[in-house]
Amino acid sequence: MIWHAESELPALDLIVLPGGFAYGDYLRAGAMAAHSPVMREVVARARAGTPVLAICNGFQIAAEAGLLPGALVPNAGLKFVCRDVHLRVESSASVFTGRYQRGQVIRLPIAHHEGNYHADGDRLKALLDNDQVAFRYAMPCGEVCDESNPNGSIGNIAGVFNETKTVLGMMPHPERLADARLGGSDGSAMFEALAAALA
């Protein structure tokens, strides 16, 4: 655990920016936390190739810090959404998603008010061209449609990579369904993939 006011990081194989409500999500979710002293070192390590997993508020922070393209804005319904969703895996070519199959449907929980992913036309085209979309909100059958979109994210996008796929930002919480005792284990493959890749 690293406190936000720290200015240095020890040697790390992986950095995780967890969910939560950094600074109470005042101003704009993740905007203030992105300027915490420790984030200068997180950004430097990420740019040097250290994998970064950014979950929920961590995704918002990573986007605000420029580690990931696009922005997270208030949900289309302007309400906090907390429930399980289905995701379609869009890419298995990363240290995070290597234990999933492209097109596989998994179930993970979400809990956010500002999870509506937005990217402008050129940025969205680049994401698609570079295979940077990690997950999309989908129906249990794998269909991507308006009905399966819980927050209004453009293209039903639930998670994106940076250009080198060493940073993953996602609104759903894989850690909350990583053990059958938690009600499901669809998130466990992500941590198994990371453990294998970083061993």
**Residue 29: predicted pLDDT:** 80
Please write the tens of the pLDDT for every residue from 157-172: 999 999 999 999 999 9
More confident residue, 24 or 198: 198
Catalytic residue among 64, 90, 114, 175: 175
**45-63: per-residue pLDDT in tens?**
999 999 999 999 999 999 9
CA distances, 43 to each of 59, 67, 135 (Å)? 13, 7, 23
Residue of 4, 82, 173, 192 with catalytic role: 173
Gap between the Cα atoms of 198 and 175, Å rounded: 18
For the domain 15-198, what is the CATH code? 3.40.50.880
56 catalytic per annotation? yes
Q: In Å, how far are 6, 27, 29, 44, 55 from 21, measured between CA atoms?
A: 19, 12, 8, 23, 12
Quick one: pLDDT at residue 41? 96
113: annotated active-site residue: no
> Is 185 in contact with 179 (CB distance < 8 Å)?
yes
Mean pLDDT score, 114-125: 94
| Lookup: tokens for 199 | 């061993």
- Confirm whether 145 is a catalytic residue: no
Question: In this predicted model, what pLDDT tens digit does every residue of 7-46 receive, in sequence order?
Answer: 999 999 999 999 888 777 777 788 889 999 999 999 999 9
Check 56, 90, 112, 113 and give the catalytic one: 56
Question: Residue 28's pLDDT is what?
Answer: 78
Q: Taking the domains of the chain in order of start, what are their residue ranges? A: 15-198
CA neighbor of 159 nearest in space, from 99, 108, 101, 83:
108
Q: Which is it for strands 81-89 and 133-138: parallel, antiparallel or unpaired?
A: antiparallel
Is 105 in a helix, a strand, or coil? strand
